Structure 1
Amino acid sequence: MIKSNNEISYYRSIDAIFCALTTGVKIIVEDKQCVQGNAFIDTRVFDSYELVRQVRFRFHLETVLNCLNIFGVPLDPVTHEPLPTNVAVQIHYRENQTHPLQLYLEEDGVITECLIKVLDDTDTIDFDFQTENIVSKVVFKASGFKEALSEIDLKADCIELFITQDVPHFRLIANGCGGSTSVDITQDSPVMDTFLCTEPVHNRYKTQFFQYILRA
């Protein structure tokens, strides 16, 4: 059993992959086979976790989110941000294509049972990064990187990413019709946890992909 806070995902309208592993539960969502989001719930988060064998199946994400929010989401009266709830949820699944995913939610003695049809599994992107081929690796503190993204124009058409061995080390440039905005992060910045660069990197991405980061 796990105590669950209500969260809304940006990927509500698409399918997700549920992976039950010996180390915990992994949820995978993808957008057009080019962007992938992963959420992992460690077994230590659960009050009880029993797994006979590893399982993997596909389900409609919005359906599950609606079930998890069946008791509603309390909001802070001042900030209107979601507040933690005391809803407990049990998840049951038998490895059988005809057997649904079972969710049991309890709040203040009220128990609700949800039966959700699962779908056939589909292949997901395999980001098999070979260590010997990595020319750059940058790890940020999530809150700091989100703040850096807020300083550039996320309505621009695209964002250019530069990683170099020289200062500023990491740069983002947003290019739009109204001009360009940029943000620099050096390797000694408290926002940056890890910096590795063996050769300069310059790539261009759709701004939409960075918007996913802000909504994660």
Structure 2
Amino acid sequence: MSARCEVLVASMHDLRHFGTLLRGVNFVDFATMMITNGGLTVYVEESSLVAAAAYVPAEIFDEFTYSPPIKSPSASPTPPGPSQTEEATVLEFPLHTLIDSLSIFSTGSAPSISEGRAQNRRWVRDREHGGDDDVPRGRIDAYFGATAGKTVGMRLSYAGKGHPLSLLIAEGSAEPDAKFEVTTYTVDAQPDVSFDIEETLLQLILKSSWLRDALSEIDPSCEKITLMGSPPEQSELARRPRATAAAPVFRIQAQGVFGSTEMDYPNDREVLETVHCTKPVSFSYRVAHIARAQRALQNSSKTSLRIGTDGTMNMQFLVSSPLARGGTSEAFISFRVNHIYQYLNTIDSFYGFSVPPS
């Protein structure tokens, strides 16, 4: 029997960083995975209201090999170009199942940068012939070399359309402790994870801890949160003597049954690293939708927040991961949230009417 050529082979000595990125978008049952030479993108969407994507760069893996399946040649005499033969591989899979498999031996948080550097092990080929249930060696079944310290490593592989995601887990041993196969499904088109930067009205970059602390102050009874921004020059003008109403460069306002809460952010680089606002902005969002991003926010160091002309909000969270060979790699988790009138229009479209925009 000929060896099966795998589309993806990816391994890492400590799977907690990979698990952290997947848990950041774990709020629906199924996810779409896009595989490219640059890494993995795991995309989820909830009723066209909230969408999220975890961008997992290839460099955070100790081994990452992508061999896209070659398309059948067309009837045209013109040979296919690189874009026709090496495009992304897209598949759908049950996200909860993969995360549960990753968590079977480890449910802790990702280690610190220094800890991650100290622990390094690689997948090595088995020196003995396989058993009856084995597939060709060096493809699905591979083993870890022994290493100091206790970490949980993984090897993820995918053989192409119709095949499952195969996952090998090793907990501080020279051989895999568990093997999982996660069912995959065919996807007709790639999901749209883009955000039109040209239509941005407000952009902020700040420490995630500032935003995390602000959202933690919101009363649980609140159902709506309003984000407001003003051009920095208007904010500075309002600080002058005789100014009657201060215009904060950024304000978070939450309204609930028992009252409202307001949190203002000054135009200070110690608080807001970057501020770009072309005109006054005010859009409201459902707290339940923003809450989907709490886990990603918790594990990130910086947050980029953008609001477009149509009120769509994009939050991008920077998550740093230590590399086995030293240094760090920057992964991202991105969320796209519709503002509250987009949400109502989505619901009301079933009844034949819509709510006018704010």
TM band (smaller chain): 0.7 to 0.9
Per-residue deviation, residues 21-48 of structure 1 (Å, max 9, x unmatched): 2211111122211212221222221111
Paired letter, 1:99:
H
Matches within 5 A, 1:159-178: 159-165=225-231, 166=235, 167-178=247-258
**Percent sequence identity over matched residues?**
25
**Which of 143, 151, 154 does residue 89 from structure 1 map onto?**
154
Match of residue 69 from structure 1: 103
Could you tell me which of 28, 43, 57 is aligned with 2:91? Answer: 57
- How many residues align? The count is 207
**Structure 2 gap segments, 5+ residues each:** 1-10, 69-87, 112-149, 236-246, 297-358
Offset from partner CA, 1:158-212 (integer Å, 9 cap, x none): 0111111224111111111101011111221523222111111111110112212
Q: Equivalent residue of 1:135, what SS?
A: strand
1:68–1:126 Cα change, 3 Å: closer
TM-score (norm 1): 0.86
Deviations 1:125-180 (A, max 9, x none): 4434041x322212222222111212232430101111112241111111111010
Any conservation in 2 of the 1:155–1:207 contact (CA below 8 Å)?
Answer: no
Structure 1 counterpart of 2:165, one-letter code: L
Q: Deviations over 1:101-136 (max 9, x none)?
A: 1111111325211111101226634434041x3222
In structure 2, C-alpha distance between the alignment counterparts of 1:102 and 1:19, rounded to whole Å: 16
SS at 1:50 equivalent: strand
Q: Tell me how far apart the structure 2 counterparts of residues 9 and 43 of structure 1 sit (CA, whole Å).
A: 18
Q: 1:119 to 1:99 in 2, by over 3 A?
A: same
- Partners of 1:152 and 1:174 within 8 A in 2: yes
Aligned position for 1:124: 191
Cα contact 1:138–1:196 (8 A) shared by 2: yes
Q: Residues 146 and 213 of structure 1 are in contact (CA less than 8 Å); yes or no, is this contact kept in structure 2?
A: no
| Aligned position for 2:277 | 197
* SS of the residue 2:210 aligns to: helix
Rate the CA distance shift 1:83–1:11 in 2: closer, same or farther, 3 A.
closer
Q: TM-score, normalised by structure 2?
A: 0.54
Distance 1:105 1:124, change over 3 A: same
Instruction: Provide the residue aligned with 1:138 in structure 2.
Output: 204
Structure 1 stretch displaced more, 200-209 or 113-122? 113-122
* Structure 1: gaps spanning 5 or more residues: 75-81
Contact 2:24 2:54 in 1 (8 A): no
**Separation of aligned partners in 2, 1:31 and 1:125:** 13
Return the index of the structure with the highest Cα Rg.
Answer: 2
Bigger relative CO (Cα 8 Å, ≥ 6 apart): 2
